Structure 1
Amino acid sequence: METTSDIHLGQVVRSKAGRDKGKVFTVLNIVDDEYVLIVDGDYRRLDNPKKKKIKHLIVYKTIIEELKERLTNGQKVNNAFIRKALDPFNKEI
């Protein structure tokens, strides 16, 4: 199951509701057609991803290709890698 309403693994998203409103995350896993697991490598780490409704996210067109490849192939990903990948988006704010 790769896509669910145009959401992909490694896609950059921003929360538009909840206490994490305005924060930038990346999609770690797609739970079903309503929920995804998101991480930012800082507040939400890989060992404790946030389950979030897709309707509460602003979905960017950007997909972090290297992260998507690593997740798809089951390779190791760490929090520092995710922080580094999301850094340009956090500077945008």
Structure 2
Amino acid sequence: MNKEITLEIGQIVKALKGRDAGQYAVIVGIEDSRFVWIADGDKRKFDQAKKKNILHLEPQSFISSEVVNSLQESGRVTNGKLRFAVAKFMAEQSKANQKGD
């Protein structure tokens, strides 16, 4: 049973494969139904976004409105905003984990 994964620009994903496995990044572009472009603003800058197979990503339920708005307005996003989005997501994750979710 292959459930259709819907990925959106601005969504946080966790890399499952490759040298960046275990890292979180933000989707900054969608290539086609199989590939997306991800960047985290730190090791992987926006201008050097990585093309990833969506099967190698674990989508998180967090979508950064800052990243979405920036990409819609100017077609790009600053690395600072990407770092902020990942940091905000990580902070929310640790809060959820502390609550014993």
Shorter-normalised TM range? 0.7 to 0.9
Q: Partner residue of 2:20?
A: 20
Instruction: Assess if the C-alpha contact under 8 Å between 1:41 and 1:83 holds in 2.
Output: yes
Structure 2 unaligned segments of length 5 or more: list them. 95-101
Alignment RMSD, CA only?
1.9
| Cα displacement string for residues 8-62 of structure 1 (whole angstroms, at most 9, x for unaligned residues) | 1100000011110000000000000000000000111011000000000000111
Q: Give the match for residue 42 of structure 2.
A: 42
Alignment coverage as a number of residue pairs: 90
65-74 vs 9-18, greater mean Cα deviation: 65-74
Match of 1:74 in 2: 74
Q: Deviation at 1:76?
A: 4.9
Higher helix proportion? 2
Bigger Cα Rg: 2
**Higher relative contact order, chain-length normalized (CA < 8 Å, sep 6+):** 1
- Provide TM-score, normalisation by structure 2: 0.79
Deviation at 1:63, TM superposition (A): 0.6
How many percent of aligned residue pairs carry the same amino acid?
33
The offset of 1:73, in angstroms, is 2.5
Per the normalisation by structure 1, the TM-score is 0.86
